[in-house]
Structure 1
Amino acid sequence: MQEVQFACNFLLLVSDYPLFCVHLLEAYMNLCHLSSSKMPGIAELELKLSEYNKKMSYLQQMVQELASKYDYNPNKDYAETEPKLREHCNRLSEQ
């Protein structure tokens, strides 16, 4: 139960990135299940956090690059463009 409380407190600190939080919580719970007799060390958690931060930075960079390729005009109807962009983003996320 102590692990869950720690994880919840940590999630409150990084709640600006909800998807990241979900993945981090899953990773943390997996680590706890792998070593049910003890909690993972801080160094191990910091390493995981560093890995997820790198992934998040990379994804943010990709989003910014994609956004810069498309001019946004709020008065234009994007009914045709939006499905194409969503499909492209889905393909990227599957890789």
Structure 2
Amino acid sequence: MKSQKIEEMSNEALLKHKKTTELATGMLAGALSILLVMTVFLTIKKGLHATSISLGVIPFAFMPILIINWNNLKAIKKELNSRQNVV
């Protein structure tokens, strides 16, 4: 499936895409934050084990996805603001 460019999408589609991207980004950020806190707690509680190291890698591995979603969300907001100024 080929995705449309932001400039080619309608206002309704942009608003829907913005809402789902905000939700997904927020949930991912929350899950990564909780996992990072759990990793720090596990490391303090039990020391540096293979489990705490492997759990600690996951938030940093998924950080690029979070950054990409954040940048897409900024682009969508910018496009919606430019359309509101024109109309």
TM range (shorter): 0.3 to 0.5
TM-score by length of 1: 0.40
TM-score by length of 2: 0.43
The structure with more helix, counted as a fraction of residues: 2
